[in-house]
Amino acid sequence: SLKSYENSQNSSDTNLNKRTKSIYTPLELQFIEMKKKYKDAVLCVECGYKYRFFGEDAEIAAKELNIYCHLDHNFMTASIPSHRLFVHVRRLVAKGHKVGVIKQMETAALKAAGENKSSLFSRKLTALYTKSTLIGEDILLLLHVNPLLKLDDSVDVEGVTADVPDNYLLCICENGDNLKGRKKGDIVTGIMAIQPTTGEVIFDSFRDCASRSELESRVLRLQPVEIILPSRLSDQSEKLIHSITSM
């Protein structure tokens, strides 16, 4: 796969692709800058009436969405029609990918009437989706893509949301300092679970033993689709979370 944006990270002051010795297009340079900010996301870049993927993102999209991928200038590229964006975003997220939507901040009509009509469209990230934040939001995403579309125009809202399971985003933190009567492995754990589709929030703080039985019971009951962990986590908790997520 082509990793042109990686080759350019240390040479942002030049438009030359060091690997191929060819010139980056303005759109490719714009993508390079956006990819530096969101390295762990598959980026969908709005280009007129379609969304394009570039580089490794294009190869991932081609594999997961079964679409055509080809070389264009310095990058592999693939595209999807704008009105199918929410369908493909859901598929990518279901496969475990974080997906970023990059939208044009100008319309073609306004740009043509302005002084900078020959320049590149300005673009920025407008949405970043993961498993815990997408479900239930795709209708809003669809309307954002096409604001002229009404909910009763060939979109069955109940059909889209009826099979939506609980999609808790769970955050875990720990503190073992100054714990009275502490035994080896004991810890105080705090959790907060949020369900974006309903706004439900669950929080708790509890003392747990080395086996982490209390933490295990809560994680298994909530069945979160995504877990946020602190940079420092006890070995016992890390082993438990790993065993649960690997299942």
In CATH, what number is assigned to the domain containing residue 92?
3.40.1170.10
Task: Say yes or no: 99 and 177 in one domain.
Answer: no
> Is the Cβ–Cβ distance between 236 and 212 less than 8 Å?
yes
Tell me the pTM: 0.67
126-135, 167-176, 230-239: least confident range: 126-135
Task: Say yes or no: 112 and 209 in one domain.
Answer: no
| CATH assignment at residue 196 | 3.30.420.110
Number of structural domains found in the chain: 2
Per-residue pLDDT tens digits for 105-140: 877 666 666 666 667 888 999 989 988 887 654 545
The residues, any chain, with a CB within 8 Å of residue 19's CB and separated by 6 or more, are: 4, 7
Question: Domain containing 69: what range?
Answer: 26-145
Helix %, strand %, coil % for the chain, to 5? Answer: 35, 25, 40
